[in-house]
């Protein structure tokens, strides 16, 4: 089990690091200053830790795998929305003109799909790699 969680964390960290670097141009600033590699690394670490803790929690609840996937995606989506609403309201960051906005939620599309998608992919990639 430790091996699986280690793989998930490593894959989640790698995928989130790529995502953070690719979509950073969609933001204007972080707390009024430039978006540095240190900020992107911290965001990556937060995302990877969230993903692994959520998946461990779902595993511990002994939820059926297909149901667990829906829980993981739903909780990740909700957490991503809450993070964005809080961060935008507190002026932690601001979106640039290129960020696609989800109309009803008034939050960016890219950060909202990041946690659910990369969490799901991290689990799937790990399962595939450990089968071989």
Q: At what angle do helices 37-60 and 2-23 cross, to 10 degrees?
A: 140
The answer to whether residues 101 and 107 touch, using CB atoms and an 8 Å cutoff, is yes
Taking alpha carbons only, the member of 75, 85, 93, 119 closest to residue 25 is: 93
Render pLDDT for 5-33 as a digit per residue (tens, 0 to 9).
899 999 999 999 999 999 999 999 999 99
* Range of weakest confidence among 63-67, 74-78, 89-93, 96-100: 63-67
**Which conformational region is residue 62 in: left (phi greater than 0), alpha (psi within -120 to 50 degrees), or beta?**
left
Whole-model pTM: value is 0.92
CA distance readout (Å), 119 to 3, 70, 75, 100, 104: 17, 11, 11, 21, 24
């Amino acid at each position: 089990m430790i091996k699986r969680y280690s793989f998930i964390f490593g894959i989640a960290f790698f995928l989130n690091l790529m995502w953070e670097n690719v979509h950073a141009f969609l933001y204007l600033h972080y707390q009024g200053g430039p978006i540095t590699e240190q900020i992107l690394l911290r965001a990556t670490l937060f995302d990877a830790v969230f993903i692994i803790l959520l998946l461990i929690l779902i595993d511990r609840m002994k939820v059926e795998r297909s149901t667990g996937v829906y829980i993981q995606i739903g909780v990740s989506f909700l957490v991503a929305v809450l993070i964005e609403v809080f961060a935008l309201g507190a002026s932690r960051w601001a979106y640039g003109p290129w960020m696609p906005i989800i109309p009803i939620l008034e939050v960016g599309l890219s950060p909202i799909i990041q946690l659910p998608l990369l969490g799901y992919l991290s689990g799937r990639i790990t399962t595939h790699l450990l089968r071989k």
